[in-house]
Every structure is written in structure tokens, then in C-alpha cells.
Structure 1
Amino acid sequence: MRAKTEQREAARRLRAQGRTYDEIQAELGVSKSSISLWVRDLPAPRPSQERMRKASEARWGPLRRQREEERRATKAAAAAEIGPMSDDRLFLIGVALYWAEGCKDKPYDRREKATFINSDPGVVLVYLAWLRMLGVSEERWRLRVSIHESADVSGAEHFWSEVAGVPVERFQRATLKRHNPKTVRKNVDERYRGCLVVSVLSSAELYRRIEGWWIGIVDTQRRPHSGRV
């Protein structure tokens, strides 16, 4: 009787601490029916954040892992479809990249200079390969990082130096974005590397050709397409 009384008191104490029937049973080694009888007048515990997380993981974890595997498989299959990159394909890709992300000339603001800015290392890598393919020597490149003033500027410069294959000593002084306390920034972890700005010296002629190439690409879509399904 004394042992039962001690188990009952222990069960009630554990229940008051928010423990579940399974947890009490695992600790005391008594049946759930006994536990239920001993603690039925006590309020059910509120689910803890950890318990809710485990329950969510048990229910949705397998589905999340399955979907992630499907994502990886789809991306891998799509990447394999690209095959070797010919100069013709790279040429068109580079023109489209510049027109999407590069600085553009306006009638009211003449900017006939090839300047490109992006935060995606892959995009920058392809753009620089395009410049090389066009014969724009690295001596004409001017690189600088544009980044928030609170970030690791030196780390970002070394990161982009590796992406571009250009010594960090050749980088111009970084452009720092001033802190606005009213802005809630999400890009604050160690993966934040800012943007790389790539300018080309004496590039007015290059810019005009880029704009002309883009006009030519657009014009092909305005012409009648015969024989297409």
C-alpha cells in the first residue's frame, strides 16, 4: 500500500509538472489506467513547444522529406537537359541577363556604360563568362561590392573575389548601404554577401551593341512564326 501511495503521489506530481501519460508511465512503470485514475482531477497539460514540434515532425516530416527529394530530382533532371554550353547559347543568355539586371540608357539620362549588378553568384558567374566570350578583357573590369554597412564587408569581398576569379586587391572601395532602423531586414545571416557591381571601362560602344542585340531578339518575336505548333 505504501508503494502504491508513493507511486500515486509521484504520478500526481509529474502530472502537475505537465507530463503526459506516456511520460509518467515510462518513469514510474505503472499502467495508464492507474495513472488516469490517480490524476483525473488534475488539468491536462498544455502541449509544450518541444512536444508540438515533435508531433508536427512525426506527422509532416516524412512528407516534407519526400517533397524535398522530389525537388532535388526535378532540378537534377532539368540541369542534365542543358548539356554543353555553346557560344551561341551563352551569347543570347548574356544579352538577356544584361538587359534584365544591367544599367540602361534613357533619353533623359544618358548612361551608355556597361554596368551590371546582382546578388546571385550563379548569375554573376555566367555574366562574367559572357564578357570573356565577347573578348572584354579583365583589365577593363571594375568590381566593387555593394552591401549593408553592418555586414562583413571584407568577407563579402573575398567571397566575390573567388566567384569572379579576380584578386580582391583589384576591387574598388565597397559601396555601403546606410542602416535604416525602420526597415526589418531578413538578409542578416552569414550567407549575406551583398551584390557585386561589374563595370566595364570605355564601354559606350559595348552598351550600344547590347541594346541593339536585345532589340534584335525582341524583333524576332514580333515577326510572324510560320510552321510553329
Structure 2
Amino acid sequence: MNSRPDSGGPPSKYAPFEALREQAVTLRRAGLSRRQIRDRLHLDNNDILNRLLRGEPAPEWTRRPNAKDESREKARALRLQGLTYDQIQVEVGCSKSSISLWVRDLPQPDRSRTREEASAIARRGWEATLRAREELRQATRRSAAEEIGALSDRELLIAGACLYWAEGAKSKPHRRQERVTFVNSDPDMIRVFLRWLDLLGVEPARRRFAVQIHESADVPAAERFWAALVGVDHGALQKTTLKKHNPRTNRKNTGETYRGCLRVHVLQGAELYRRIEGWWYGIVWEGDTNGPLSRPASPPSPMV
């Protein structure tokens, strides 16, 4: 039962190692993967396979498509210079888990350093990780923004109706007030809302603006900011509403970047409010899995 390696059966344990290595190297240079070579030679011991293929590079096709080859080579070169994982992370910008996989076969560096040096290295490594995360975050945001592209009028109509019903003033059963008033602290939300009013044909003359802000803030600066954002003179703003300041507050919206909220009110907006309400319930009914028979004859009164 001393079958030969090239006969298709399992190799004899007495087969010369060099002959077996010659076959393994030939298969490797022919472009076979480690698994393919192991199956072809009927090997079940990875240690033996490692010895047979020692010094033979892997075929190009077996490399992972997303492998960071340049970062890997740089990390290995830095490790050979005696740098630690933390130091390599600062230079390469990869996670320490990846660096560990890339350099685990290389000798460990001298770890004789002070606690202050170790802390500084770890801090720089963490800063590099945060930078990499922020780059990934920004790339994701850019990609998602490109998925939206240009909005059609219908898409903007739906987006604006959802935006208003989430953030705008709504009539309540105990207080019937059909008016269009939108308050928000996010300048981008205000911009989108104004674009929506443009789409609906609400003339600038029907729009009124007022700032709502804590009394401890820089009120004049906030008024100038919001006036410039909506394109009106500072004097065109209505009287600012000041919120009483609590010295023991834990709120985070303080400092130079705090500008309060802007209130946008549409004059003679009762009819527009009813249309907004109708658009919203049109969206709700469209996703109603119970079918049109379950819909009320008219939109229900909002309870929020």
C-alpha cells in the first residue's frame, strides 16, 4: 500500500520529503491555492504543507480583494524597525487587530519606555483611529447624498409634508388652530422648509420670522445669523422671544454656536394647513395594509 504521491492515492509516509516538496512547489507555481494543493496531494497536516511551501509566494488571485497591501507592507517594515502596535497605528492608521495579524510572525520590539511615553503613544493611536472613523463617516454621508440626487417637485412635496408634520404646529382637539408655524434650531431644516414654501407658491410677503432663544445667549448675533439665512433685513424680524435662563441647567446648547430657534409663520395659512394635513394622511393611507375600506371618510383629528 505504498502508493506514490502522483498516483492519485494518499502519499506514503516514507515518501522522500524533497520529492513531495517538488510536487507542492510545482502546483503552487501553477497557480493553485493551499487548499487545492492539500487536496491534490492528499495532505491533512497544515504544518507539513507550510514546510512544503516555505518561501513560495501565494498566487495573485488568492489575495483578498480588499486587502490593504500597502498598509500591510508599511506595518511590517515599521515592526522590523522596532515600533510597537501603538506606534504603527499612528503611522498607518489601521486598527491594532489588523496590525497584529500582519506582523505576528515578526520579532517583538523592546518595550522599555516610560508610562508617559506609553500614554502619549496610545493617545496618538486613538486619535488616528478617530480620524479614520471620521473619514469613513464622511465617505458614507457623501455616498448617501449622491443616492438622493435631484428632488422632483413631487418628492419635495412629500418630504416637506413629512417635515412639517414632525416639527410644525398642529391643531389639537382641545385647541382648534389651523395655522402654519414651523420652529427649528437646525439651519438646514429651515432651508428645506423655505424651499418647500417656494414650491407651494407661498409668497415671501406672507412669511414672518422670529427668533426664540435663551436670554443668556448672544441675542443680537443670533438675530443677525437667522436674518441672513432667510434673506431678510435684521429689522424685518418680529420681536424675539426670550427664554428664562436657569443657572443650574445641564443643557449643552450654549456657547458661540448656540443661536436658538427660528420660528417661521405663514400668514393666512388655514387653507394651507388643511392641505398639509390631507397630504400627511394621504401618505399614511398609502401605507395602510388594511386596504382602502378601513379608511375614514375624512382625516381623523390629530391627537398630537
TM tier relative to shorter chain:
0.7 to 0.9
1:105-129 residue CA offsets vs partner (Å, 9 max, x unmatched): 0111112100000011111000011
What's the counterpart of residue 67 of structure 2? none
2:124 aligns with 58
Q: Which of 76, 79, 86 is matched with 2:152 structurally?
A: 86
Matched, 1:156 2:222: yes
> Hey, what does 1:189 align to over in structure 2?
255
Matches within 5 A, 1:51-200: 54-200=120-266
Aligned positions of 1:6-21 closer than 5 A:
none
User: What are the ranges of 5 or more consecutive residues in structure 1 without an aligned counterpart?
Assistant: 1-44
Normalising by structure 2, report the TM-score: 0.56
Point out the more displaced range, 189-198 or 55-64: 55-64
With CA pairs under 8 Å and 6+ residues apart, which has the higher RCO, 1 or 2?
A: 1
Instruction: For 2:244 and 2:205, locate their aligned partners in 1 and report how far apart those are by CA, in whole Å.
Output: 31
Bigger Cα Rg: 2
Question: Does the residue aligned with 2:135 lie in a helix, a strand or coil?
Answer: helix
CA distance in structure 1 between the aligned counterparts of 2:228 and 2:284, rounded to whole angstroms: 34
The structure-2 alpha-carbon separation of the partners of 1:94 and 1:52, relative to structure 1 and needing over 3 Å to count, comes to farther
Report the TM-score, using the length of structure 1 for normalisation: 0.73
CA deviation map 1:160-206 (0-9, x unaligned): 11221222221001100001223222111111110000001111111
Shift of 1:101: 0.3
Once the 2 structures are TM-superposed, how far is the Cα of residue 58 of structure 1 from its aligned partner?
Answer: 2.1
| Equivalent position of 1:216 in the other structure | 282
Task: Find the aligned partners of 2:129 and 2:196 in 1 and give their Cα distance.
Answer: 41
Q: d(CA) in 2 for partners of 1:75 and 1:107?
A: 40
Aligned-CA RMSD value: 2.0
**Closer/same/farther in 2, CA of residues 154 and 68 from structure 1, 3 Å limit:** same
Q: Give the distance between the partners of 1:83 and 1:186, measured in 2 at CA.
A: 34
Shift of 1:55: 3.8
What is residue 39 of structure 1 aligned with on the other side?
A: none
What does the per-residue CA deviation read over 1:32-52, in whole Å, with 9 as the maximum and x for residues that have no partner?
xxxxxxxxxxxxx9x67xx78
Between the aligned partners of 2:202 and 2:140, the Cα distance in structure 1 is 36
State percent identity of aligned pairs. Answer: 51
Query: Quick one: distance in 1 between partners of 2:119 and 2:174?
Result: 57
- Output the amino acid matched with 1:205: E
Instruction: For structure 2, list consecutive stretches of 5 or more residues without a partner in the other structure.
Output: 1-113, 292-304
Output the CA distance in 2 between the equivalents of 1:111 and 1:77.
41
1:20-31 correspondence runs (5 A)? none
Instruction: Name which of structure 1's ranges 180-189 and 74-83 shifts more when overlaid on structure 2.
Output: 180-189
C-alpha distance after superposition, 1:141-161 (max 9, x if no partner): 110000010111111111111
User: 1:2-45 CA distances to partner (integer Å, 9 max, x unpaired)?
Assistant: xxxxxxxxxxxxxxxxxxxxxxxxxxxxxxxxxxxxxxxxxxx9
Alignment of 1:42-53 (within 5 A): none
- Mapped partners of 2:119, 2:240: distance in 1: 43
Matched residue SS, 2:277: helix
* Structure 1 stretch displaced more, 67-76 or 180-189: 180-189
d(CA) in 1 for partners of 2:287, 2:190? 27
Deviation at 1:209, TM superposition (A): 0.9
Supply the AA of the counterpart residue of 1:106.
K
